[in-house]
Structure 1
């Protein structure tokens, strides 16, 4: 099979197999920074080559490579070229550090251990050439630790491993049989592979794609068919959920249609998100991503000098860490995100803090979908106060119970809560989708039919026997604002009636079979001849 004919799945499988053979004693979590980081560097370098050719920045002679033409033309005016490239792309790579140049050095065995450090240092310097884009590119490769002893015991050994990684990534043509660039898709598949092999920590950066589709469909059902659509993920992880919203939005991939906003506490994961979005063709002008603690540091243009200036979005999606600890000191009751709900989320369960943060940044016409543990539906004390206030404000639109075993980080069942600030009815839709899954070896997954059934029930908003129920406010009050799904959706299956006569007949038949077996055994036993040990 030719390289250009490989599918994204096939490329991913081959890359994963090769990566496992190269990483030696390194864990999947440690090795992902090198694989994904160098894939991103190749993408940026190739993207720059396309820009140089398509925008006629350089003239490429017949038989001359783009890289050679770039090196020749920029030899005397490199600073001017780098500044021009940075104005358009947000970053710039000098000729001596392009992917093509690095590969030439590797193939000619002229690569020096210091070349990799010089390459990343130069990229970091050039990231400041465009002040508007510097936040998007600065420090993006900070998780590639070239002196990590697990790469090798010497500088030369580490350089050899890095060269093997570069050669492995270079070996593939990341285009499908139609010529479509699938590098972003392969990158996404690899993130999922690393997540599957990371265990509980995977929940910090990856939401399974099928679950992301459900959330994305929920927040885009009522979206306008034109104009810019803003989406925000306050715990964005690798950014996969943001990209899935784009996939589900009408004309979502049209230039400028979606503006992405995200915040992530973990720096490594934040870098992963920046790479992921850009490798899916998102321009730096269409994304605002921040490396910060969402609950401690509100979105940058929230409260300024005591005056509230919240940024609001068309959609908010989130899969926050479940029941995380947070600093719920009394001063937070003055925070405009939390002050109108009577209580703060408990110190050891920040779930409702994330809910209130998301609602605070939701447009009046927008939709929010957030994944949480089931406990948020019924736990008492402060959470009960917040839950009741949300319901009385008529913000909660739907409660969707999901199957267990969907996530890498936990096997517990989860729930999706859907919120809207402007609703025409005072009721809540309950959907019990706990049995809507396909069993997998390591984890369960949602099929297309499962997803369609959930979304159809949400859209139609009517009672479905043993699956969905629309509860009015009086019913919610009767249950003391407890939202536990079995209180509203009866999934009890009655046992079929027992036919006593049939059971008695079955027992009589078994007695007859036992009697026959015993008779046959006794006959066989009587024919056995006992052996005298002395005769042996």
Structure 2
């Protein structure tokens, strides 16, 4: 089975599974508002996933629990996790079947079941604040029906039938439905697996040699992990290279519900739940001092950082001892702050893939926070490549997006260079849209993009009618000097006003020129300014260095205008069509009417 077939099958299963689970909404209708359904559906999905995961070893755990009931908690935990096969367990005598067999005591027994999870899992469940919802469901005779719905045969969620990848998709589809009912803004979107796989392959293609062999250990960090699907995908892709490699995943998430999902999924995958952190990455960094082999993330863009403002500014004031010493972007968009955080956590051999929207390429003036951050990354020779993605690729937004590939140590041929790749036309149209997602990056499309990246050449790559274009630039190509150009004041007779034998600048006529770093400023001024303003001069004390990446201009293709005869013929045909349509509607012949 090809990857495309596998992905298609997965998508069908995920849609079906998520829709089955979301049917619980029928029970909740009237009791909850639509935007509140997730308060029940998300924690119940996690609980059912845990329930089904532990079913095969349940009897062993109950037996061990009885045998070791007098041991201290640490030793008892060790024995019970050995029997469960996971880093968590449940010692309850209840299952969903036995809960349903005693409807009169449903609430009491269900609470007893939940309280029988190991302490590390209870911490996760508490993030959902589900206790209040249990009372609400029980008081309105809905708890039995919710558990009954989740206990249907087709709602089975054990890992033997529903893989971690599939479960990740199910969670993301449920969270997407929950977010849609909340009417969240476009920046709060989720990353589909086709985008994630492209990011992982861009990260790993340069590291093939370091991924093979014995005793390979790699660390992966996602600073805005959501339900942790980027982390699980990196683990999956690294194991494709070397199934014996040890992959340690670390992540931080702001939203308690998605954090709980991520942590539970990590435990089921055998990862260390202590590596999952809750809180704002910008204002409450849980991984200070850590360095990772890989950083992969899709931070919110177009979202303000007001609630993090004080902490971020305080850290900015620390200078080199803080993550944000280089500069601060406008308060309305904090995406470049995540870029700085990710860079601060890369090993010297580390690599990062991060998604931004177009404003990260060019927003802000020379000397401003955004420009300074771009300057910092480019002048340190850390920006390896940027890939423009197709529009309509994300669930909740159709805007232009870009993957930035950043590394502390470039390969020799890439030193001093930046590769820009226009992959906006390399996609397959979906037969059925999912929200705003109308296209996919298929396996063939992804391979073409990765090939263009790997060959590092000025070249076009074609797949049928689809095209990827790669261009290589020097770091300096993106920098410019913003020079202030002054013009003199003139008196009523038109003479230049002098002060101490020097012309006085007229603030109303002040202008600026953005001169590429590769250009000699004086030569540029003589060529581009003086012929049109012979009395002008430059105030070089006001010079500012700026950096921007004008993607659209760099990939612009000139299209010559149509000949007038062609335009006239098209207008004639349009007029004829309008006349014909009018005749069809009115039944009148208007061909001879003036």
**Shorter-normalised TM-score: what interval?**
0.7 to 0.9
- Retained in 2: the 8 A contact 1:36–1:187? no
SS in 2 for 1:96: coil
2:425 aligns with 435
Q: Are positions 1:315 and 2:304 aligned together?
A: no
The CA distance in 2 between the partners of 1:322 and 1:163, in whole Å, is 38
1:534 aligns with none
Matches within 5 A, 1:133-212: 134=120, 138-143=123-128, 145-148=130-133, 152=137, 155=139, 157-168=141-152, 171-174=154-157, 180-197=160-177, 198-199=179-180, 200=184, 204=188, 206-212=190-196
Shift of 1:33: 4.9
2:249 aligns with 260
The CA distance in 2 between the partners of 1:467 and 1:492, in whole Å, is 15
The CA distance in 1 between the partners of 2:161 and 2:70, in whole Å, is 30
1:450 aligns with 445
For the structure 1 residues 238 and 175, does the alpha-carbon distance in structure 2 shift closer, same or farther, using more than 3 Å as the test? Answer: closer
Q: Determine which structure has the larger strand proportion and give its number.
A: 2
1:92 aligns with 89
The CA distance in 2 between the partners of 1:211 and 1:464, in whole Å, is 23
Shift of 1:17: 5.9
Deviates more, 1:355-364 or 1:35-44: 35-44
- Retained in 2: the 8 A contact 1:338–1:357? no
Shift of 1:522: 7.7
Shift of 1:470: 0.8
- Retained in 1: the 8 A contact 2:293–2:351? yes
1:44 aligns with 50
The CA distance in 2 between the partners of 1:260 and 1:475, in whole Å, is 37
Deviates more, 1:6-15 or 1:84-93: 6-15
1:459 aligns with 454
Matching residue within 334, 340, 351 for 2:335: 351
Q: Are positions 1:232 and 2:221 aligned together?
A: yes
Matching residue within 401, 416, 423 for 2:388: 401
The CA distance in 1 between the partners of 2:250 and 2:38, in whole Å, is 24
Give the TM-score, by structure 1 length: 0.76
Unaligned runs of at least 5 residues, structure 2: 1-8, 461-467, 480-515, 518-545
- Retained in 1: the 8 A contact 2:49–2:158? no
For the structure 1 residues 288 and 253, does the alpha-carbon distance in structure 2 shift closer, same or farther, using more than 3 Å as the test? Answer: farther
Q: Are positions 1:275 and 2:278 aligned together?
A: no
Matches within 5 A, 1:321-332: 321-323=300-302, 324-325=304-305, 326-327=308-309, 328-332=312-316
Deviations 1:104-161 (A, max 9, x none): 23135464212222222332xx31xxxxxx4x76233431524339954x52613223
SS in 1 for 2:233: helix
The CA distance in 2 between the partners of 1:458 and 1:481, in whole Å, is 23
How many pairs align?
473
Shift of 1:201: 6.0
- Retained in 2: the 8 A contact 1:83–1:92? no
Shift of 1:22: 3.4
- Retained in 2: the 8 A contact 1:207–1:407? yes
1:63 aligns with none
SS in 2 for 1:147: helix
Shift of 1:445: 2.5
- Retained in 1: the 8 A contact 2:315–2:324? no
1:370 aligns with 354
- Retained in 1: the 8 A contact 2:418–2:472? yes
Q: Are positions 1:391 and 2:378 aligned together?
A: yes
The CA distance in 1 between the partners of 2:42 and 2:130, in whole Å, is 13
What value does the CA root-mean-square deviation take over the aligned residues?
3.8
2:416 aligns with 426
The CA distance in 1 between the partners of 2:101 and 2:231, in whole Å, is 39
SS in 1 for 2:161: coil
Q: Are positions 1:483 and 2:463 aligned together?
A: no
- Retained in 2: the 8 A contact 1:402–1:433? yes
For the structure 1 residues 18 and 472, does the alpha-carbon distance in structure 2 shift closer, same or farther, using more than 3 Å as the test? Answer: same
- Retained in 1: the 8 A contact 2:381–2:475? no
Matches within 5 A, 1:206-225: 206-223=190-207, 224-225=210-211
- Retained in 1: the 8 A contact 2:323–2:341? no
For the structure 1 residues 494 and 276, does the alpha-carbon distance in structure 2 shift closer, same or farther, using more than 3 Å as the test? Answer: farther
2:280 aligns with 293
- Retained in 1: the 8 A contact 2:351–2:406? yes
The CA distance in 2 between the partners of 1:404 and 1:493, in whole Å, is 22
Unaligned runs of at least 5 residues, structure 1: 53-65, 128-133, 303-309, 526-536
Shift of 1:335: 5.4
- Retained in 1: the 8 A contact 2:92–2:112? no
Q: Are positions 1:24 and 2:29 aligned together?
A: yes
- Retained in 1: the 8 A contact 2:14–2:166? yes
The CA distance in 2 between the partners of 1:322 and 1:343, in whole Å, is 17
- Retained in 1: the 8 A contact 2:238–2:245? no
